[in-house]
Structure 1
Amino acid sequence: MFKYADALLFPVEVNYPDPQFGRIMLEHYGGKDSEFSAATQYMNHRANMPNHFVRELLGLIAAEEHSHMEMIAEAINRLGGPPLCYVNSEGIPWDLTYVDQSLDPVAMLQADAEAEIRAKMLYDTHLTMTSDPGLKKMIRFLGDREDVHKHLFEKSQAMILQGAAPGSFSTLIREYRMSFPV
């Protein structure tokens, strides 16, 4: 179950308009390694994940990815970027092939960890392309969250491979909830 809160997960501060950088940020909104791709993939993997706790973790992270999308949208609008569509920075429409279709739990979590790695690399690249201090803070925050997600997906995968007791997976949910900065 998802609940909408009328507040951003992290403040979006844009010090000056930069429509060109707004177009670049579309990669995070509707590109191959976008927040939309991640949220869609995690929801699909959630529907096919047999472990209750990993299924819950995937839902929590998918919801967070949607909140990241909302932050990206706000940043693009404040930058004076192009209208928001599910396209990348070159105007190429989002494609379902961006979503991993694995059904094996280990393969799903591997694909999810790899998606986080690619997203983090994209954020790192875009961090160097702006001098706006507010945007830099937001991009760093988003990149740090990608690292948290990658860690949790890798930990989930390792627990499955090691045959961890079903109840021990509840630590993943606790760790996720404790991962937000105070």
Structure 2
Amino acid sequence: MFSYSKPLFYPVQVEARDPVFAQILLEHYGGKDSEYSAATQYLNHRSNMSNRYLRDLLGMIAAEEMGHMEMIAVAINKLGGPPLSFVDSQGIPWNICYVDQTLDPIGMLQADVEAEVRARILYNHHFTMTNDPWLKKMIHFLGCREDVHKLLFKKAQILIRKGAPPEQFNELIIDYKMSLKNN
């Protein structure tokens, strides 16, 4: 299901070293609302989702979140940050409690929407904390991708609530793939 591709989703450049901002970016690497938390949650939800199209969607978005995590790692390294480990900016280790354990499909998707909202808020906050134009572009890109994921999860909830046939969920896969081409 998963494959590794060397190119990043978006090029990562920095204007100058900034170890302080690198430390802040650890929130996106190993914090509560990190890319790692999102990817882990979506993979878990994927394993518990009966609709094959939603399983595929969750798998694709989880893989993308891992790609975002890689971008954050590259940025932290270029900024001269600390060695990467699964901790937040305060050094608090990542915890499995950050991953939603809901088993109801609508509940899982709602938890996924909420994860995307929290990640977007965090990106918006960190966007204001740097003057580096390259990092601002990267953070903007990542925030926009969170919005795409949120909208897809909301559409999936609507389809479930209206009792749509499983094949209608394939539109979500098409929408996801089109969103990648529009970046």
- What is the TM-score of this pair, normalised by structure 2? 0.99
Q: How does 1:27-66 map to 2 (within 5 A)?
A: 27-66=27-66
Listed as ranges, the gaps of 5+ residues in structure 2 are none
Paired AA for residue 56 in structure 2: E
By how many angstroms is 1:7 displaced?
1.0
Q: How does 1:135-146 map to 2 (within 5 A)?
A: 135-146=135-146
Residues 112-133 of structure 1, C-alpha deviations (whole Å, 9 max, x = no match):
0000000000000000000000
Distance between the aligned counterparts of 1:23 and 1:157, measured in 2?
Answer: 36
Q: Secondary structure at the match of 2:3?
A: coil
User: In the alignment, which residue of structure 2 is the partner of 1:123?
Assistant: 123
By how many angstroms is 1:165 displaced?
1.3
Q: How does 1:155-170 map to 2 (within 5 A)?
A: 155-170=155-170
Residues 53-84 of structure 1, C-alpha deviations (whole Å, 9 max, x = no match):
01100000000000000000000000001110
Distance between the aligned counterparts of 2:23 and 2:16, measured in 1?
Answer: 15
State how many pairs are aligned.
182
Q: Secondary structure at the match of 1:136?
A: helix
Distance between the aligned counterparts of 2:67 and 2:114, measured in 1?
Answer: 20
Residues 87-128 of structure 1, C-alpha deviations (whole Å, 9 max, x = no match):
000000000000000000000000000000000000000000
Distance between the aligned counterparts of 1:150 and 1:62, measured in 2?
Answer: 13
By how many angstroms is 1:166 displaced?
1.2
Distance between the aligned counterparts of 1:57 and 1:41, measured in 2?
Answer: 13
Q: Secondary structure at the match of 2:146?
A: helix
Q: How does 1:24-103 map to 2 (within 5 A)?
A: 24-103=24-103
Q: Secondary structure at the match of 2:17?
A: coil
Q: Does 1:174 align with 2:174?
A: yes
User: In the alignment, which residue of structure 2 is the partner of 1:15?
Assistant: 15
- What is the TM-score of this pair, normalised by structure 1? 0.99
User: In the alignment, which residue of structure 2 is the partner of 1:114?
Assistant: 114
Paired AA for residue 158 in structure 1: I
Which stretches of structure 1, 4 residues or longer, exceed 4 Å deviation after superposition?
none
Distance between the aligned counterparts of 2:83 and 2:132, measured in 1?
Answer: 21
Distance between the aligned counterparts of 2:140 and 2:115, measured in 1?
Answer: 17
Listed as ranges, the gaps of 5+ residues in structure 1 are none
User: In the alignment, which residue of structure 1 is the partner of 2:150?
Assistant: 150
Paired AA for residue 162 in structure 1: K
Distance between the aligned counterparts of 1:166 and 1:34, measured in 2?
Answer: 31
Distance between the aligned counterparts of 2:161 and 2:110, measured in 1?
Answer: 12
Q: Secondary structure at the match of 2:33?
A: coil
